[in-house]
Structure 1
Amino acid sequence: METINAALIEAFGEAPRYRTLAAPQAGGHHELVDVLAVGLHPVTRSIASGQHYASPGALPFVPGMDGVVRRPDGSLAYVGGPGSATLAERTLIDPDDAVPLPADIDPAVAAATMNPAMSSWIALHARVPFAPGQDVLVLGSTGTAGSMAVKVARHLGAGRVVAAGRSRERLEQNLADGADDIVVLSPNTDATAAALAETAANVDVALDYLWGKPAELAVRAIVTARTDHARLLDWVHIGAAAGSTATIDGAALRSNALRISGSGFGSIDMRRANLPGLAAAIASGAVAIRPRIASLRDITAAWGHRDEPGERTVIQP
């Protein structure tokens, strides 16, 4: 029997173990590919924990929700989605879902960057009618995905990019990455609201990685200060780092052209997302995260590593 080495989740809440399993068999519409690099993203860990809405219901299973693979014809591709089982030497893919990658792309950089950058890239392509020249607020810009959102918005031609987060040091890096203005989300809610009203009152799109109380404060401050309340404000809920619920005053919706939507698994038509364009941006260096490479054999130790800002652990079989 042909075998492969893989990571295996044997109990929810525990790190995966390095195991030898029966090799998957290609058949029907599926294609067997070699896995080159897999990012250990927060959502990867969340799905594997059993707490995410996309978590599988049965144990054991091979984790991994995306990765860079080599197809039988030698070409590189990015594959992703819950249940991708990419933390293995080989995996099965649906060729229709494979995103072609440039031949010269660094697989580790692509694996580190595609997932964190996709959240903003997809939102600005497939969730809102974003156009170059429009102004963008990134709420929660000091996390990895939020910092990527600053770069993505700038790369896609935003007129102004406002970055808002708690860490002043990371906000200074946002400025270096293309933000025009920054807002420190401080415990002083009055000062924070005033800063948001001053810098972000007339943005066209808000990419929200925080939700919770920061979203409540930001929505209230911004819609109150808008100079044209009929100007559309697309508020896109992407992450919930500050809480899973937010209370938005109904008056804010009735008295402003405020549209709130979510962007995540199940809400996106990926055909509109132009992921090859993102791959090209990564290959060019316009959008990139530094990979911290670890071996699949060391998956248990790597699983618990806390990445530094601007870094993403990448597993290579």
Structure 2
Amino acid sequence: MNAALVTAWGAAPHYTVVPAPTARDGEVLVDVLAVGLHPRTRSGAAGAHYTSTGRLPLIPGVDGVGRRPDGRLVYFAADDDVDGTMADRAAIDPRRAIELPEGVDVARIAAAMNPAMSSWVALRARVRFEAGKRVLVLGATGNAGSMAVQIAKLLGAGTVVAAGRDRARLNAITGADARVPLTDDAEATASALSAMAADVDIVLDYLWGVPTQRAIVALLTARSDRSRPLDWVQIGSVAGPTLELPSAALRSANLRLLGSGQGAVSPRGYLAELPALVERIDAGEVSVSPRAAALADVERVWGEPEVPGERIVLTP
């Protein structure tokens, strides 16, 4: 079969012919229809994601839309220890797949599910989220972050504050009640976060690193009631994998640090949340524009920069 194949860490995959997969016990072979080129896919192909097995060569791709031999359309996620999804066919575990309605826009589902599920699952499975809660999205100018703003609103957030570095993208985000530009001026950024987001209930953090380190201190210092719970949900780390957290931050406020990702939520827990998300995406309530490309062009499109609101979708 045809597939994208990574043969060196950090290099783009090339389009080549590889042996077709065989289904192990309990698996099903599907014809792949659409696969999103997500940042998570790129980090996995670079060996930089925390789930990386360290083995080469590999077929990249963490999810996709496919058709089962019985004709049913499914969205599926790949196991960490098997070949990825950027190929003509894939062997999938039915326990990591959900059936899709006929007529669904497969490119739209492939484009949106991975970035959208990060905030959808975080708010529905990792924290006690109720209508009226106040949410800060830290790193809102990425595609996943901008979707997080929309999803928080869809789920009933009373106020959503979007914070990010790209001012043009920040101003264009749909659903934000307030916007905080993250700049190199640490004092000005801290002051803006304190003014706009000091009393939020939940932070969805796609940044980590130094920006999060500064934001935690700014928000806790300015909270009107430090005993009120603040759930800080770590989802991404585009600004760095580590930070320094003063011990006083945990003693002087009701700060609860937790993560949302593979391992923090079981595969079964993820899948249970996805049918409702599919309905929202298919209804156009989560903004995304799939940009179709042939799988044969994977090497050419692999390094193209992310365009706001777009996601490259590869079709075999």
TM-score greater than 0.5 by the shorter chain: yes
Pick aligned residue for 2:60 from 63, 67, 76: 63
What is residue 196 of structure 1 aligned with on the other side? 193
> Any idea what SS the aligned residue of 1:108 has?
helix
1:135-182 C-alpha deviation (Å, 9 max, x unpaired): 1000010111110110110111101000001122111112xx111001
What are the equivalent positions in structure 2 for 1:201-280 lying under 5 Å apart? 201-273=198-270, 274-280=273-279
State the shift of 1:61 in Å: 1.9
State the shift of 1:57 in Å: 2.5
Across the aligned residues of Structure 1 and Structure 2, the Cα RMSD in angstroms comes to 1.4
Runs of 4+ in 1 over 4 A off after TM superposition: none
Conserved 8 A contact 1:66-1:84:
no
| Partner Cα distance (2:192, 2:50) in 1 | 35
Conserved 8 A contact 2:7-2:58:
yes
State the shift of 1:131 in Å: 1.5
Letter in 1 for 2:115: P
| Partner Cα distance (1:51, 1:208) in 2 | 19
State the shift of 1:110 in Å: 0.7
Conserved 8 A contact 1:76-1:101:
yes
What is residue 312 of structure 2 aligned with on the other side? 313
State the shift of 1:27 in Å: 4.4
What is residue 289 of structure 1 aligned with on the other side? 288
Unaligned runs of 5+ in 1: none
> Any idea what SS the aligned residue of 1:133 has?
coil
Unaligned runs of 5+ in 2: none
Q: Return 96-105 or 291-300, whichever deviates more.
A: 96-105
> Any idea what SS the aligned residue of 1:22 has?
coil
State the shift of 1:84 in Å: 5.1
Letter in 1 for 2:131: P
Conserved 8 A contact 1:102-1:283:
no
Q: How many residues align?
A: 312
What is residue 165 of structure 1 aligned with on the other side? 164
> Any idea what SS the aligned residue of 1:56 has?
coil
What are the equivalent positions in structure 2 for 1:57-136 lying under 5 Å apart? 57-81=54-78, 82=80, 83=82, 85-136=84-135
Pair 1:152 & 2:157 matched: no
> Any idea what SS the aligned residue of 2:128 has?
coil
Tell me the TM-score normalised to structure 2 length.
0.95
Conserved 8 A contact 1:9-1:60:
yes
Tell me the TM-score normalised to structure 1 length.
0.95
Conserved 8 A contact 1:40-1:315:
yes
> Any idea what SS the aligned residue of 1:145 has?
helix
State the shift of 1:126 in Å: 1.5
